[in-house]
Amino acid sequence: MRRRGVVVGVWFFGLRAWRGAWRAPAFTGANGRAPWTARCRRLLVGLAEVWNLLSDLVVFRKCYDFLLWVKPTVERFSRVHRYGLGVQLETECLNLLRSIARANVRREKGEAIEECLACFECVKVLVRLSMDFRLLSVKQYGFACGELDVIGKLLYGWFKKFEGVSSC
C-alpha cells in the first residue's frame, strides 16, 4: 500500500512484505512461544520424517505414484463424467492412500489393512467402469490394471502377514 508517498508493509498470511522482500515477524507471541518460522520449520522437519517413514513402505509409494497418474487422467475425462466418476475415482485413491498411512501406524494392522482392501476394491471397480464408459483407452486401462495388480499383491501380502498377529 502507498500512503502519502511512503511504502507501508502489507501483511499476507503472517508474512510481511516490505519493499518487495518477504519477512517473518521478529517478535515472540504473547505466550512466549518461538516465532512462527521456527514452529513451521519444526513442523516441516516432522512432516519430512513422516514422509520418509511412509515412503519406505513400497505399497504407499506405488499407490502415491498411481494417484499421480490418476489426477491428470481424470482431468481428460468428458465433462459429464469428470465431476461424477472422475471425482469419485480421485477420492477413492486418496482414501486408499490415507488408509495405508493409517494402517502403517496402527497396532492392530489387520483391521486397518482390511479398510485398505475395501478402498482398493472400490478403485478397481471405478477404473473398470471408466473403461466401460470409454473414458480410458485400452493402453491406459492396461497401465492402470498393471499398477493395481502390483498394489493388490502388496496389500494382500501385507494383510496375510498381519492377519493372525494381535497386539499384547
Per-residue pLDDT tens over the stretch 36-74: 555 555 555 555 566 666 667 899 999 999 999 999 999
Q: Which helix (H) or strand (E) holds 152?
A: helix 138-162
Three-state DSSP at 13 gives coil
Q: Are residues 137 and 85 in the same domain?
A: yes
Q: Are residues 39 and 117 in the same domain?
A: no
CB 54 within 8 A of CB 101: yes
Q: Are residues 71 and 152 in the same domain?
A: yes
pLDDT at 121: 97
Q: Which helix (H) or strand (E) holds 30?
A: none
* pTM of the model as a whole: 0.68
Q: Are residues 37 and 106 in the same domain?
A: no
Provide φ and ψ at 7, rounded to 5°: -80, 125
Judge whether residue 134 has pLDDT over 80.
yes
Q: Are residues 67 and 50 in the same domain?
A: no
**Last-in-domain residue among 56, 72, 90:** 56
**Last-in-domain residue among 56, 77, 94:** 56
Residue 157's domain comprises 57-162
